[in-house]
Structure formats: C-alpha cells, structure tokens
Chain A
Amino acid sequence: MQAVFPLTFAALLFSAGVYGVLSRRNAVLVLMSVELMLAAVTVNLVAFHGLVASEAGDPLLSGQVFALFVMGIGAAEVGVGLAIVLLLYRNRATVNVDDADLMKY
C-alpha cells in the first residue's frame, strides 16, 4: 500500500487542527480542533503500522493498539476539557478564549 496517501491526509488533518487551535475563539471549537490533531496522529499510527507490518510483520499489532489508546485518552481529555469549558461559561457567561486571560501578567 502506498503510505503517502494516509500520511498526506494525516498532515492535512493535523494542519487543520493546528489552525483551529490557534485561530478559533470559541473554546468548544478549540477542543474540537485538538480532537482533529489527535485523529491525525491516530491515522499516522495506523498507517505506519500497515507500512511496518507489511514488511517485517507485527504480531502484537502495536500500531493498532496505540490507536485505540489514543482514542480512549482523547475521550477522557474531551471529558475534562468540556468540564472546564462548562465551568468557564458558568463563571464568566462566555466561552471565548480571548476573555479567559485571568493568568496574564
């Protein structure tokens, strides 16, 4: 299998995530962009697994298993992240990250 397609896809996906993280004002959208970056990494893991296993074999399926770990941890991260966003909204009536600058100098 050509590895270039999934890797290019993952790079694009990651870049979209980075763009979203850096440019979105809405905290929820920022969280979603983080999920895009996680997804891009997951795609990479799966893609490289395919690449490595097709040549040397991988009886433990470590790439696939790591992809599952990433999804699990990503779910937990979203849980914590949304809880923070929720508390932010309760306290300040907004989810705009530009307003959440209480830790500035």
Chain B
Amino acid sequence: MFSEWAWLIPALPALSVLIIVFSGRALPWKGAEVGIVALLASLGLSLGVAWEVFSHNAGVTQGIGPAGDADAAPAGAEAFLLERGLTLTPLGGDLAVELGMRVDGLAAMMFVLVTAVSLMVHIYSTGYMHGDARYTYFFALLSLFSFSMLLLVIASDLLVLLVGWELVGICSYLLIGFWWEDKHNQDASIKAFLTTKLGDVGLVVGIMALAGMFGTFSIQGVLDGVAAGDHSQALLTFALLALILGAVGKSAQFPLHTWLPDAMAGPTPVSALIHAATMVTAGVFIVARLFPAYQAAPVAQGTLAIIGAITLVMAGLLALVQTDLKRVLAYSTVSQLGYMMAALSFSYVAGVFHLFTHGFFKALLFLGAGSVIHAAHSNHMTEMGGLRRVMPVTFWTFLAGSLALIAIPPLAGFWSKDEILVAALEAGGYTGTVVLVLGALGGLITAFYMTRALYLVFAGEFRGHGHPHESEPAMTAPLIALAIPAVAIGWINLPFPALQPLSLSSWVMFDVDYWVANPVELNAVIAVIATVLALAGVLAARAIYREAPERDPLLHLGLLTHVLQRRYYLDDLYTDLIARTAVRDKLAPAAVWFSDRVLDGAVYWSGRGTYELGQGLYATGDQRGIDGAVNGLGLSALWSGARMRLAQSGNVQLYAGALFIGVFVLAVVFASGA
C-alpha cells in the first residue's frame, strides 16, 4: 500500500528544491518551511513503508519461530521486496536505462534514517543558519541533498544509484564550500570532491564490470546472476573490489579518509546530515545492497574487513589529539564507518544495524557540537569548558549521544557494536581475529576520546570569550528528538533469539534463509569485555581530565603527538608529495611539454604534411595530370582538325581523283574477293 508510493519519498524533496529555488525568498520563512513540510511528509511515508515491510517480514519470521531453531526457511517464505520501474531508453542489446525503485528492508531502514535526520537538520538549521546571507540557498541544497540521497537509496538500478551517488557528492561539495568567501573552505570542498571522485572511478569500473558480466544494470539482475553462479570468479572479485574503492572514497575509509575531517569546514548541520549520518554511509550502503554478491567473493570480503579494521583504529587514534570538536567527531565518524565496513564482511545485520544506530547518535553529537560552537563562537575545545551549567539541554543530549557512541549498555551503540564483535568472533579466522581485537581496542579508544571531549567542553571553567548561553528551541528540540533514538534505538535488535522475529534483523533481511542461518545472539563474554574496555577508557580519561582539562597531556607526548597531529603524514604525502611535488612539479610540466611538443607537434606536422601533400597533388595531379589530359584532348582535336581540314581543299578535281582512286581500290578488293 505505502510501498507502491515509495517513489514519493525522494520526489517530495525534489519538488521542495524547485519551490525553494523559484519562490523561496518570497515565502515567510524564506523557504525553510517548504523543506520541513516535504521532509515531514517523506518521513511519514517512510514510516508507513517501514511498517509495511516490517509487518510482512515479521509475519514470515514469526512463522519460523526464534532464529536459529529451524534448519531452513519454509518454502514460499520470502523477504519483502517490491520493484517497480519504467524503461527510459534502451542502450542497445539487452541493456536499458531504467528508472526504478527497489523497496525492501534495507531501503525502508535507510528511508527512515535519512528522512528523520534530514528533518531534524532542517529544523535545527532554521536556528543555526538564522540571518545567513544565503539562508534560502542553504535550504534548497539541503532539500537537494535529501532528494539525492533518497534516490541513491531507492534505486533499483546501478546506473540510477550512480546518479544519486554523484548528486550527493555535488551537494557535499557545495555545502562544504557553503561559506566560500574563505579560501580554506574552498580548498576543503575541492579536496572532498576530488578525493571521493578518485573512489568513484572504482565505482564506475565496478558497475560496468558487473553490467558486462551479467548483462544488466539492475541490482536484482546482478544478485540473480551471482546466485546462478555462472560467472567468472576472478571478474566478480575484481568488480566488487572496484566497488569497494568507490565505497572507500565515499565512506572515508583508509587510505582515502583524509577529506572527511577537512569537510568539517561546512556548516555544522551539514556535517551532521551529510558527513555523519547519511552520505558517508552510502559506501556502506552499496556494500550492504550487494551483500549476497560479496558473500560469493571471499577476497572482497576479506579486503572489507582489513580496510575497516585499519580505519577504525587509525581514525580513533587521530581523534585523541584533535582540539577542534568537530574534527574529533569527524574522526570518530571515520572510525565508526570502519566498524560498519568490517562488520559487513561477516554479518549483514551487524553492519546495517550499526549504520542505523550510528546515524542517529552521530547526528545528535554533531548537532550538539553545533549548539556548543554556536554558543562559544569557536570550534576549538581549548576555548570551551564549563558549558554544562549554562547549556543543560545540550549537555544532557550530548552526553546521551556520547554514551551511545562509547557503547555503554543499554544505549544504542552498545547493541550494534557488540553485534559486530560477536559476528567477528563467530567468523573467526584471520580477518575475524583482526577485526575482533582491533574492534575491542577501538572501543577503548572511542571511550577515551569522547570522555576527553566531554570534559574539555562541558567541565571546568569557561576558557573562551563572551558569555555563552543555551541555544534557542529550534536547535534544542532536534537534540531532544534525536536523543531518544540515541538511547533507545538499539532495543529494536536485542540479541535474544526469542525476540528476533520482531526485530531489525527480520525487518531488514534480504533473504529468509540468511536470517535463519545467521541468528543474532548475545555473547556474554564479549559484551562484558567490551563494556569493561569502554568503562576503562572513560575512567582513564576522567582521571586525566577531571582536574585540569586545559592541561591536555595527550598534546605533550612528543613524537607520538606529532605524528598523530600530522595525521600519520598521509595528508602531507597526498598534498605535498603526490599533489605538489609529483603532479604539479614533475608530472604537470612533463604533461605540458608532452602536450606542447609531442602532441602539438604531431598535430602541426600532420596538418603541415596534409597541406604540402595537397599542394603537390594540386600541382602535379590536378594541374598537370587531369588538366593536362583535358587540355591535351582538346588540343589534339584542334591540332588534328587543323591538319585534316586541309583535305577540304575546295578543288573539285582533287575530290574526283580521290573518288576514282576509292572506286578503283574497292573494285580491286571486290574483284579479288570474288
């Protein structure tokens, strides 16, 4: 019922873009109300779709009973899937560009996440962006982003997904550079755009490789093709690795993570929406979308696990030494995305579940950070402190988000992160062990840097300038609204087999067999160890920062601090060595020389050669040959005519003589013939 109308979910924000662009300034709230109403309607519809998918899937799984009890799904039990589409234009062969929607559990979950966070960010932005010169433009971009992200989610076709993917990239670029008067913001937006573009090359290669293998761009077609098994394993692995490159770029995974911290140059609501909750999860989303294909390619799965494990620890360590609050959260986002990537190499539910919970509490943290920054007029934690008393709402909601991120039970992050560690443990083997150990270590680091940030921002005395005060209701209301899922959203997938038929694992399942074969279970040992590590991180940070938050010992660790503050020299490697020294100083001049001398020379000399050849042909072939033949024919006719006319002497006796000779000759001929 609702699902048939799911196409309206991206269509409404698209309509909102048009209205805001053409008449936004004339409206009483300068366009903000259009975006809010459109997102509200989209959220309502998303919840309807989610309920429909959930009731169908839960009906199926309840019939099976607690996960893990049955050996196989009963015949006829199918996960919810609705595909509708229209063919726009054939591409020749069996290929066609299709505008289609694919509504299933994953899409329904993403609808809820994207529309809910986007709505909160819209409301929040009416306060945060109040009085900005490009207020209406900002809301047009927010709506455009919402449309693009929802298009990416709803796509039934890899080409449409690619369109949505690139559109969110453009929106990200425009919003990071929203305050483009500052050169630093421009640089950040260009860096984000180019870095993700590098990954997008892989995405396009991967999509083309899949389309080439299976003869279709349709996601269902690709999954069916993989299930049929009639394909080259090496080519499938190559295509999926190429897609991972795209996901690594978009989801800011090692080694292409460097753009995300710089992307914090954009307005904070943008960071919350795009660079925490939605766009950066697009890479995770595409892996989850093609999860059955990844199951068929162990090499690609292993790559995911290793990239995710490296990223989650590396980014977590970087977050330790940041003084910019938004950068702490940015590295935290990179780290959590690493968890999701690693999780998707073992368990579909774990990765998707963490995506869902993380979207809510990280959006909350960013919006809270925006509220703090709004009050303290600085991004730097060195100029904050003591805000707990003056900003109680922000403090308590930020605390809820932090505890969810630290994974303190029973908050949201605990359940999803625990799920990842259990999945890694059960997968075992080399990659499973790596992810389990690094993931547990990452939990300790996460707890430490978030507690550090909490103490630096909210404890002690205010170290900045002016008199900070609590933000207006337009900003605190979304914080409170998001704090509820940050606390409670984890409860929709409690790891007790009896509850599984009514939980997220059933809601988002792509396949009943997978649901039956991979029950979500509680591992008490893992849960206790993870919680103890998290508490250890909290207590260690508390011991260090409770007394004197301004004297930050992490910034005085000599070489270690230096390496971390230089971000492992990766930015230096990319910017100075690769971009400047290699490309700008060596490669670019060489390319210019090659272009000027070799290419231009080739073009010049081929043009010159053609000209000379034409000249020669004209002189010899045309002038001499053809004209000579034509003139020669005429002249020879003239010449021979001049000779032959002499026979026409006018002398009758000459004619008569010729006549007699002729008759005589003929007579002799006939006579001899006879």
Interface residues, chain A, with chain B CB atoms under 8 Å away: 18, 21-23, 30, 97-98, 100-105
A101's partner among B651, B657, B660 (CB-CB below 8 A) is B651
| Shortest Cβ distance from residue B322 to the other chain A in the assembled complex, whole angstroms | 112
Contact string, B630-665, partner A, CB cutoff 8 A, digits 1/0?
Answer: 000000000000000110111111001100100000
> Do A22 and B656 have beta carbons less than 8 Å apart?
yes
> Do B651 and A104 have beta carbons less than 8 Å apart?
yes
Residues of B within 8 A of A23 (CB): 653
> Do A22 and B650 have beta carbons less than 8 Å apart?
no
B650's partner among A18, A30, A103 (CB-CB below 8 A) is A103
> Do B649 and A101 have beta carbons less than 8 Å apart?
yes
> Do B646 and A105 have beta carbons less than 8 Å apart?
yes
Distance in angstroms between the alpha carbons of A21 and B648 in the assembled complex? 19
> Do B651 and A18 have beta carbons less than 8 Å apart?
no
> Do B653 and A105 have beta carbons less than 8 Å apart?
no
Distance in angstroms between the alpha carbons of A18 and B660 in the assembled complex? 8
Residues of A within 8 A of B648 (CB): 103-105
Give 19 pairs: A residue, B residue, CB < 8 Å, sorted on A.
Answer: A21-B656, A22-B656, A22-B660, A30-B653, A97-B652, A97-B653, A98-B651, A100-B652, A101-B649, A101-B651, A102-B650, A103-B648, A104-B648, A104-B649, A104-B650, A104-B651, A105-B645, A105-B646, A105-B648
Distance in angstroms between the alpha carbons of A105 and B652 in the assembled complex? 13
| Shortest Cβ distance from residue A33 to the other chain B in the assembled complex, whole angstroms | 10
Q: Which residue on B lies nearest to A103, using beta carbons?
A: B650
Distance in angstroms between the alpha carbons of A100 and B656 in the assembled complex? 14
| Shortest Cβ distance from residue B140 to the other chain A in the assembled complex, whole angstroms | 95
Residues of A within 8 A of B649 (CB): 101, 104-105
Residues of A within 8 A of B656 (CB): 21-22
Distance in angstroms between the alpha carbons of A4 and B656 in the assembled complex? 28
Distance in angstroms between the alpha carbons of A30 and B648 in the assembled complex? 20
Known: A105-B645, A105-B646. A97 touches B660 (CB 8 A): no
Residues of B within 8 A of A98 (CB): 651, 653
Given contacts A21-B656, A97-B651, A105-B649, 5 further A-B contacts (CB under 8 A): A21-B653, A23-B653, A30-B653, A98-B651, A101-B650
Residues of A within 8 A of B645 (CB): 105
| Shortest Cβ distance from residue A93 to the other chain B in the assembled complex, whole angstroms | 18
> Do B651 and A22 have beta carbons less than 8 Å apart?
no
Contact string, B568-599, partner A, CB cutoff 8 A, digits 1/0?
Answer: 00000000000000000000000000000000
Distance in angstroms between the alpha carbons of A98 and B646 in the assembled complex? 15
| Shortest Cβ distance from residue A2 to the other chain B in the assembled complex, whole angstroms | 23
| Shortest Cβ distance from residue B645 to the other chain A in the assembled complex, whole angstroms | 4
Q: Which residue on B lies nearest to A101, using beta carbons?
A: B650
Distance in angstroms between the alpha carbons of A87 and B459 in the assembled complex? 147
Residues of B within 8 A of A101 (CB): 649-651
Distance in angstroms between the alpha carbons of A21 and B656 in the assembled complex? 8
Distance in angstroms between the alpha carbons of A101 and B646 in the assembled complex? 13
Residues of B within 8 A of A97 (CB): 651-653
Residues of A within 8 A of B650 (CB): 100-105
Distance in angstroms between the alpha carbons of A21 and B654 in the assembled complex? 10
Residues of B within 8 A of A103 (CB): 648, 650
Distance in angstroms between the alpha carbons of A87 and B310 in the assembled complex? 129
Residues of B within 8 A of A105 (CB): 645-646, 648-650
| Shortest Cβ distance from residue A48 to the other chain B in the assembled complex, whole angstroms | 17
In the A-B complex, the 5 residue pairs with the smallest Cβ-Cβ separation, listed nearest first, are A104-B650, A101-B650, A105-B645, A105-B648, A103-B650
| Shortest Cβ distance from residue B218 to the other chain A in the assembled complex, whole angstroms | 90
| Shortest Cβ distance from residue A21 to the other chain B in the assembled complex, whole angstroms | 6
Q: Which residue on A lies nearest to B649, using beta carbons?
A: A104
Residues of B within 8 A of A21 (CB): 653, 656
Q: Which residue on B lies nearest to A102, using beta carbons?
A: B650
> Do A22 and B646 have beta carbons less than 8 Å apart?
no
